[in-house]
Amino acid sequence: MPDGIEAGDVVVADVPWASHASPGGVDSRIGPLKGRRDVTRLLLAPSLVLLGLFLGIPLIVVLVASFQPNVLIPRDSAGLYNYTYLIAQPYYAKILVRTIWLGIVATIVTLPLGYAAALLLPRLRGRLANMAVMGLTFPILAGPLVVILGWMALLPAHGPLFGPLVRWGLIAPPRIIGTDTAVLISLVQFMLPFAILTLYTTIKQIPHELYEAAESLGAGPLREFRDVTLPLSMPGVLSTSIILFSLGASSYISPHYLGGAANLTLTTLIGQFILATYNNALASAAAILLLLIMVLCMVGLVLLFRPLIRP
């Protein structure tokens, strides 16, 4: 390591103009740098405008609607009563907790499964590797509805999976559909490709020289994993966790079809407020609560993983 550079310092030598920077002076290439920043801003502008228009404005509309009185809570003016109502009703509070719980459990189960597959994937070669990637991404291509229909056919107590075992008297008829177990099974299956693909990209980017160096210093596969793969893949683990939690907590189709109408989550509750009771104010309040939960959990995940991520 060169003098003056400590472990953990960010080295920017790869940036073409970095070597030309003179401390305290004006860089001769500041012009191109400024131009590049302008181009970057210009390229960002369409996305920001789209986000502002189609996400920002509707979000403001939803936020405003969430403070409005409604048929269940008639009031004279706007207020926080929809939020207090949702949190104070034991059943709705339970739905809130179930939503977080489903997101966390689905993330905890999917992450190691995805990590193991992402570790294995770079070792595959040729047609096998292609087939593995195709197979893994198929649930994404097929879409969640097709996957759920498959589980709906497979999971009934007298369906093709458990039916023969029940008929032969080996097991009592299990009740999976209409429970959180069914929701979790389908969530894990649907989220797994997202985990694998995100982690695979991260793991593949770890420089091979690091493994060669570890090997030359006598590290075995376990030590390599502990000291090279795991720490360097932590940013990927963090981003994967965020993606998985978001997918799990905001999933609608799985809880709707496999959880049953009696096992609501915040998403299915929002759906019911909009589609069945036409209560936009309560639906908006529930949607904002879901958004807040997402943001809080993401902050929690960042705080959890930050100490493990090497700069």
Partner 1 sequence: MKKLSRRTALKLAGAAGASAWARSSLAAPAVNKGTVFTVSVWGGVTQEAVEATIGPEFTSATGATLAFDIGAQGPRYSKLMAQRASPTADVFFGTDEALVAGLKAGILAPARRKNLANLGEVEDWALTVKGPDAETIGGVPYCLIAYILGYNPDQIKTPITSWADLWRPEFAGKLAFASQFHSMMPGLVILAAELAGGSATNLDPGFKKLAELRPAKLGFTWTDWSSLYQSGDVVIATEFDCYLAVMQTQDYKIKTVVPKEKGLASIDGVGIVKGRPNVELAEFFLDTTIGAKAQLGLAEHLFHGPINKKVQLPGDLKAKCYCGAEIADLRFFDPEPFVAVRPAWTERLTTEVLPNWAAR
Q: Which is nearer to partner 1, 235 or 260 (CB)?
A: 260
Closest CA to 266 of 282, 242, 279, 244: 282
Contacts of 6 (CB under 8 A, 6+ apart): none
Nearest distance in Å: CB 72, partner 1: 6
Residues of this chain that interact with partner 1 (CB under 8 A) are: 71-72, 89-92, 94, 152-153, 156-159, 163, 173, 175, 177-178, 260-264, 272, 274-279
Q: Which is nearer to partner 1, 163 or 235 (CB)?
A: 163
Q: Which is nearer to partner 1, 200 or 257 (CB)?
A: 257
Nearest distance in Å: CB 129, partner 1: 37
CB of 73 closer than 8 Å to CB of 82: yes
Q: What radius of gyration do the chain's Cα atoms show?
A: 25
Nearest distance in Å: CB 272, partner 1: 7
Nearest distance in Å: CB 304, partner 1: 31
**Interatomic CA distance for residues 213 and 206, integer angstroms:** 13
Q: Which is nearer to partner 1, 31 or 74 (CB)?
A: 74
- Which residue type sits at 73? I
Nearest distance in Å: CB 109, partner 1: 22
Total residues belonging to the chain: 311
Contacts of 237 (CB under 8 A, 6+ apart): 111, 115, 199, 202, 305
Buried b (16+ CB within 10 A) or exposed e, 64-83: ebbbbebeebeeeeeeebbb
Q: Which is nearer to partner 1, 245 or 273 (CB)?
A: 273
